[in-house]
Amino acid sequence: MIRVLVFLRFIVVFLISFSSTSSLLSQTSIDKLSEMFEANKVSVLLVYAARDTSVSQGSAFLIAPDGLAISNYHVFKDKDNAMAIDYEGNKYDDITIIYSNPDMDFIIFRINGVKLPHLKMAANQASIGEPCFAIGNPMGLDQTLSTGIVSGYRDNDNYIQTSAEITFGSSGGPLFNSIGEVIGITTAGYGQANLNFAINMQKIDIENTKNRLSDSPDQIVRKYLTYLGNREFANAYSLSDNPLWIKNGGLKWFVSTDAYGAINSVNIKEIQVESISNTQAIVYTHYFAEDSLHTSRHWKQNYYLEKKANGWVIVKAKLK
C-alpha cells in the first residue's frame, strides 16, 4: 500500500512538473509568434484593385526598400487602378504595376511614397511539418494572423500546401516559416484544414525579377533598336511624317517607294529621356542605319512610351 501511495505521489508530481513545463514552452512559442507578428505586420498591406464598378480585395507585402511590393496576379487582373492601405490606415493610390506573371499568379508593383520596411525572404525551402503562419486581410479584416504547418508541396513544388487558413481577401499575403521569413505568397483556401495553398517563393527568382525591373524608357528604346529585325525597318528610306504602330510588326515609319535592301546595322548616337511621368514617357533618339549596299541614313525621332502591366511599352514614334 505504501509503495502504491509513493508511486501515485510520484506520478502526480511528474504530471504537475510536465504540465508546468508544457505551459512554459507553449507560452514561449506564443511570445515568439507575437513578436514575429508585430515585427512583420508593418510590411503587409491591404489592397483594392478596381475597374469601373468591379472591385477586388486582397493582400500584398513589401519586398524591397523602395516601395516594391508583391501580390497575386488574380487580385489585379482586368483592373486599371489600385490602392494600398498600411497597418496604420494610411492610403496609397500612386501605384505603378511594373511586372506581372499570370502563369505563376504573381504581380510586382511599386507603391510610390511608402516608407516601410520590407520582409526577409527565406533562403531555403521549409520542411513538411514545420510550423508556419500567415498575415492577411480576409474579408477586409486587416492584419489577421493564422497559424498551421507546412502540409506538403504540390505541382512540382510550385505550391505549398498548408493548414494555415487562407480565405478570400488574404490572397497575395505572405506565408512565413517558423523564424519569420517569407516562404510563400498565399493564394487560395478551400475551407478545409489542410486545403490552403501558397506560391512557393523558392520557385520565383525574385532577385533576378527585381533586376529586370530596372529597365527605364531609354533602356527599352535602346534594346528595341539593338534587336530590331530587318522586317520592322523595311527596305526603303522614304520616311512617313506620321508613323504607325503595327501590333504584330513593330513601328512602321517607312513608305516603301525605293528598295535599297534590308538594314544591316543600327549605330546609336544618342538616346535620352525628354519627359517622363508615372504612366508616359518620351525618349529622343538619334541613330544611323546602314543597308547591305553600305548606304547610310540617319534619323532623329521621338519614341512615345506608356507604362503597362509588364513595364514600359513603345506605342508610337515620330520624326524630329
In the set 43, 56, 171, 178, the catalytic residue is: 171
Mark whether 74 is an active-site residue.
yes
Helix-strand-coil split of the chain, %, nearest 5: 25, 45, 30
Q: Which residue has the cell 509568434?
A: 33
- Report helix, strand or coil for 267: strand
User: What CATH number should be reported for the domain whose range is 55-213?
Assistant: 2.40.10.120
Distance CA 72, CA 56 (A): 11
For 139, residues 6+ apart whose C-beta sits below 8 A from its C-beta are: 167, 168, 169
What pLDDT score does 295 carry?
A: 62
Q: What is the pTM of this model?
A: 0.62
What pLDDT score does 94 carry?
A: 84
Distance CA 154, CA 199 (A): 10
Tell me: pLDDT of 298 over 70. Answer: yes
Q: Which residues are paired to 92 by β-bridges?
A: 84
Interval 182-198 mean pLDDT: 88
Distance CA 141, CA 139 (A): 6
What pLDDT score does 144 carry?
A: 93
Tell me: pLDDT of 281 over 70. Answer: yes
Tell me: pLDDT of 11 over 50. Answer: no
Distance CA 193, CA 258 (A): 71
Tell me: pLDDT of 285 over 60. Answer: yes
Q: Answer for the pair 158, 104: CB distance below 8 angstroms, yes or no.
A: yes
For residue 10, report the phi and psi dihedrals to the nearest 5 degrees.
Answer: -60, -45
CA distances from 307 to 60, 67, 73 (A): 21, 17, 17
Mark whether 218 is an active-site residue.
no
For residue 62, report the phi and psi dihedrals to the nearest 5 degrees.
Answer: -80, 135
**Position 3 confidence tier, pLDDT thresholds 50, 70, 90:** low
CB atoms within 10 A of CB 284: 17
**DSSP letter at 154?**
E
Tell me: pLDDT of 220 over 50. Answer: yes
Mark whether 118 is an active-site residue.
no
Distance CA 76, CA 107 (A): 8
Domain limits, the chain: 55-213, 215-319
List alpha helices for 115-264, DSSP H.
Answer: 206-212, 217-227, 230-233
What is the average pLDDT score of the chain? 77
Interval 268-296 mean pLDDT: 77
Q: Answer for the pair 164, 174: CB distance below 8 angstroms, yes or no.
A: no
In the set 43, 56, 71, 74, the catalytic residue is: 74
Alpha carbon of residue 288 to chain centroid = 38
**Position 168 confidence tier, pLDDT thresholds 50, 70, 90:** confident
Distance CA 31, CA 29 (A): 5
What pLDDT score does 212 carry?
A: 61
Top-confidence residue, 313 or 108: 108
Residue type, 269: K
In the set 52, 54, 78, 103, the catalytic residue is: 103
**Position 232 confidence tier, pLDDT thresholds 50, 70, 90:** very low
Q: Can you read off the three cell numbers belonging to residue 219?
A: 533602356
Top-confidence residue, 214 or 103: 103
Q: Which CATH architecture fits 215-319? A: Roll (3.10)
